[in-house]
Structure 1
Amino acid sequence: MSLYQRIKEDLLRGRFAPGQVLKQTELAELYDVSRIPVRDAVQQLKSEGWLTGHGKRGVAVPRFDPLEVEDLYLMRMRLEPLLQTLAAPQLNAETLGRARDILDRMDADPTLPAAEIGALNWAFHACLYKAAARPTLFATVEQLHRQCERYIGYQSRSLDYQRTSQREHYAILDALQRGDSETAASLLEQHVAAAGQQLAEFLRARCD
């Protein structure tokens, strides 16, 4: 696992508190590496929103923002059912089978780290969305998923959301396999909306 992945996984697991300031020298000591790989990993994490700059050489863990969550999930709720509906006529047995294999992998190991859960979650949706052959829309949705990714640790750890999410994933996939794209889109919209509402309410309660 690369240093970038190790720090990212620790951020997802809550090892570093929101608002905590981290110095590159401290990170180098913590992960027992030189400052050069720390600098490169920090730069990548900053570019993806996992860390923000703080002073000359330090970084800080961004605070969780319920309003940001609401905005991100509202955009996802509108765009993802559209993209999935555009993809539906092109979905074949092979693609649907790959999507089911991804869900089965997530079910097979209940100890999966949060980062891998996030990667597999996106892999499932992306497997379906790519069939739409709409690269601009796909790229927009992918970016929204990346922005939501740092909240996954809360969903899987504090909210025990993974089992609910999986049930909803299978229901969406079953509808697509029946050729019922309208029901699949409705289920996806509910899936995204419920996840966003639950997470925003949880974070807002923590801020009060």
Structure 2
Amino acid sequence: MKLVKDSISEQIYSIIKEEILLAKRKPGEQINPRKLADEFETSVMPIRDALNQLANEGLVIRKPRVGFFVRSFTPKEAKDLMEVRKLYELYCLEKYFDKIDRKKLSDYLDRSLEKIDISYKDREFDELDENIHDLIVKASNNSWLINGYNSIKNYIVVLKHLDTGQVQAAQREHISLINAILDGDKEKAMKILEEHIQRVTEELMMSLISQ
């Protein structure tokens, strides 16, 4: 793959990050800089720069004298992360329910209905999924909350792609969640979101334990 000369490392960074987020590169998989250099028709230097950037974000692990590996998660790490996610999202949904952007939510509902039979491998649905949850947190207009949530978002996406067995269930839950918010039913929305995150967590645990 030939890249343009401007910001080669940034382009490589974006490509590899996308592959990790979509589980095209599996957790624990070693990344060979020389092989990537051949693939991108460039030197090893921009490859290492890109991998170091991903390591700084926690998506890649650097092992001295061994190499670079895609970040993997133990069942406990994944469970702890999902617990933090639940704290952020449920708090923001309850505290800032009336401030959630209904216009954007209606748009997300229309797009969700269009994507009802699409898998997590579809990046458009992937982004739609993220946008729905982001909108709840962004309703806080609290930079500390938003930045804290953003710091775990990449990990949430990686974990989500470890198990795609209940994709349509997730889509239906998103649609139910949006409808509850649009109807002004906070209690129902809270219940749907909590059950959604709990189901995802349980399936994720089963997937990780069976590996």
Q: Find the partner of 1:141 among 143, 149, 154.
A: 149
For residue 159 of structure 2, the aligned residue among 151, 165, 176 is 151
1:79 & 1:15 partners in 2: Cα distance? Answer: 28
The separation in 2 between residues aligned to 1:3 and 1:28, in whole angstroms, is 10
Amino acid at match of 1:171: S
Task: State how many pairs are aligned.
Answer: 202
**RMSD value, Cα:** 2.6
Report 1:36-185 matches (<5 A).
36-56=45-65, 58-104=67-113, 107=115, 110=118, 113=121, 116-156=124-164, 159=165, 161-185=166-190
Higher helix content, 1 or 2: 1
Unaligned residue ranges in structure 1 (runs of 5+): none
Which 4+ residue blocks in structure 1 deviate beyond 6 angstroms?
A: none
- Residue range with higher mean Cα deviation, 44-53 or 119-128: 119-128
Residues 60-89 of structure 1, C-alpha deviations (whole Å, 9 max, x = no match): 223331111110111222221111122211
Contact 1:48–1:147, Cα closer than 8 Å, also in 2: no
Gaps of 5+ in 2: 4-10
Look up the equivalent residue of 1:133 and give its one-letter code.
Answer: N
Bigger relative contact order, structure 1 or 2 (CA pairs below 8 A, ≥6 apart): 1
TM-score, scaled to structure 2: 0.81
1:10 corresponds in structure 2 to 19
Indicate the SS of the match to 1:59: strand
Report the TM-score, using the length of structure 1 for normalisation: 0.82
Question: Which secondary structure does the structure 2 equivalent of 1:154 belong to?
Answer: coil
Quick check: 1:21–1:59 contact (8 Å CA) kept in 2? yes
1:82 alignment partner, SS class: helix
Percent of aligned positions that are identical: 25
Checking the alignment, whether the CA contact within 8 Å between 1:24 and 1:57 is kept in structure 2 is no
Q: Could you tell me how far apart the structure 1 residues matched to 2:95 and 2:151 are? A: 19
